[in-house]
Structure 1
């Protein structure tokens, strides 16, 4: 509950709530990275209107005690109880005679996605005579934090981070922002975090892919994805798909979509999960036989879709067209139609962005770079059944 001193009665209520929350943050009742009460929760606690609590939270954000993330809440950033600029000190005290050391934290990589990113970073490291040190988090938040700490203790001069998927809001990333450690997010960004990032133009790519399926006469298109909540690439791809429906004047039927696939997440190693996802797709296609095209959020999900179609005796592309993001196959021998991301350029540019940020870490401008994707037509898409 709110505790007021004698001299606080004359202050506006929003200011009194601001001071109470600030005291809690300074006293570590709410630690760095933790969520503070929402506007509604503060309304209930202090018996005030939402306008009042919103203003109090805005004051905290302006003073850099919190960052606000739409749809998620407000999180503590500013009053880290540790040696001042400890992280920045780790970066700035390197031996000036040694080569620069850039750390990379990535969920995982394979021929399906990630290897080309590494090739781009590797080339940039050679061009700029630097070293690249890799750590994998496998999409596990705790492991991501540990990787960041280990790389800082190793003495890296900057970081490239491919964040863990989902809703997680990393305390270690918040600390990097607070202490102005040079780093760049790759493939995605965290809403409300003032950090540079580079990614694909997922909205435009998904829009192009969906419009391509529409051009083949497909009207009932199912989008297949892992849970999209607060995973910016997936959210953006959904936005692009919705825009394409609007372009064509087609109503969106999200009952046709599957947004619960888990087996392709980087922290899932269970073969049973893949069997479960294939079974989910089999049941879904049986429930919605009007589906003529599947748009998979990534190549491994497209492979699951192929297995489900085979189980049902559906021919690709005669009965069912499949399109996805990325494909390890060569463009000359491409089985699955896909949107090819500029992974090599993304990795190379991310490395160079970190070097630029290092030159002026205190006042480096926050940049968000988006790169186009290329639609590559394969053998998995054709005119919808019944269309000429």
Structure 2
């Protein structure tokens, strides 16, 4: 990502022109302290989008149309009172309370929020970022889509100094302003709760792709809790689910499992449904806990034990950080982690006695 940005910067500032030769892979590997494979991946992506071309045995060169105009430069910045907020969805209480926190805090400083829904698409996200810049927004809040390692527009804005804050997850390898829950800490707390009840075989079930930063952090918290108790980390106890039958297969194939930690409330409710189809009672035969609550969950037949995030506080802290970034000339990059808490209800209990 940094290599891409470096090459694009050389082209956009006319240090390299059409048909000029780029530094060699060895030179870039030495400069950035990475392997040649990493450099090759970066250059391959630039070839794919037409920025550069390769000649076998000679190296990489700037293409005739290489180097699109910069999205933003400090010289072109236009002061304004509009803030763009881009999120992948707005269909549950979590995202609604997040937006409430953002609006409340920005309103205190006289800013207005433009909300746009990327609908989980990175291409849509890129388009919305460009449209927001065209409107002359003073800053931007972005809740990245699932599975996103980096978005070129976000990379470019971050490196050019545009006021931008990421919400709920950061992008690994990119130094950004970010506000999110302590995903690893919350997952550790949930898993430790199950282990403290006596469970020795706990599954981790997710819906998001493993490359999603929040999923990686929750998985890390789950694994750390197991490791701290000296329990082996078994890959067969992990599942990225796409349908209920996947969960049923996991439980059938691994009869030793007595508990499940689910990545989010949607997956957690799917585990409840799978258990019902199998005729397994919760928590009598299977304990279940998951990240995030859902509306009226306390009225469920078996109210779930959940990890609660402070959504409104995340929104407010994101807005506060963005306002600070806008008013500062060269602010240091900050990652703010907000604590989570375990809300214990009735979906977790000690494991059933071992069958003779």
Q: Is 2:250 the counterpart of 1:250?
A: no
Q: Deviations over 1:306-340 (max 9, x none)?
A: 11111111111111111000012358657111100
Where do 5+ consecutive residues of structure 1 fail to align? 1-17, 31-35, 44-51, 60-67, 95-99, 263-276
Q: Contact 1:112 / 1:299 at 8 angstroms: preserved in 2?
A: no
Partner of 1:121: 102
Partner of 2:32: 57
Q: Deviations over 1:102-123 (max 9, x none)?
A: 1101011233531111111121
Q: Select 2:78's aligned residue among 85, 88, 92.
A: 92
Partner of 2:91: 110
Structure 1 residues 284 and 27: CA distance shift in structure 2, 3 A: farther
Q: Is 2:189 the counterpart of 1:223?
A: no
**Number of residue equivalences:** 321
Q: Is 2:352 the counterpart of 1:385?
A: yes
Q: Contact 1:186 / 1:197 at 8 angstroms: preserved in 2?
A: yes
Partner of 1:26: 16
Query: How far apart are the structure 1 equivalents of 2:324 and 2:289?
Result: 37
Structure 1 residues 326 and 193: CA distance shift in structure 2, 3 A: same
Q: Select 2:241's aligned residue among 261, 269, 285.
A: 261
Q: Select 1:375's aligned residue among 331, 338, 342.
A: 342
Q: 1:217-366 to 2 correspondence within 5 Å?
A: 217-258=198-239, 260-262=240-242, 277-329=243-295, 333=299, 335-360=303-328, 362-366=329-333
Query: How far apart are the structure 2 equivalents of 1:299 and 1:138?
Result: 19
Structure 1 residues 181 and 53: CA distance shift in structure 2, 3 A: closer
Where do 5+ consecutive residues of structure 2 fail to align? 1-5, 52-61
- Taking only aligned residues, the RMSD between alpha carbons, in angstroms, comes to 3.3
Q: Deviations over 1:148-192 (max 9, x none)?
A: 111111221100001111144211112212321101000000122
How high is the TM-score relative to the length of structure 1? 0.74
Query: How far apart are the structure 2 equivalents of 1:279 and 1:121?
Result: 38
Query: How far apart are the structure 2 equivalents of 1:370 and 1:148?
Result: 25
| Cα displacement (A) at 1:87 | 4.9
> Matched residue of 1:237: which SS?
helix
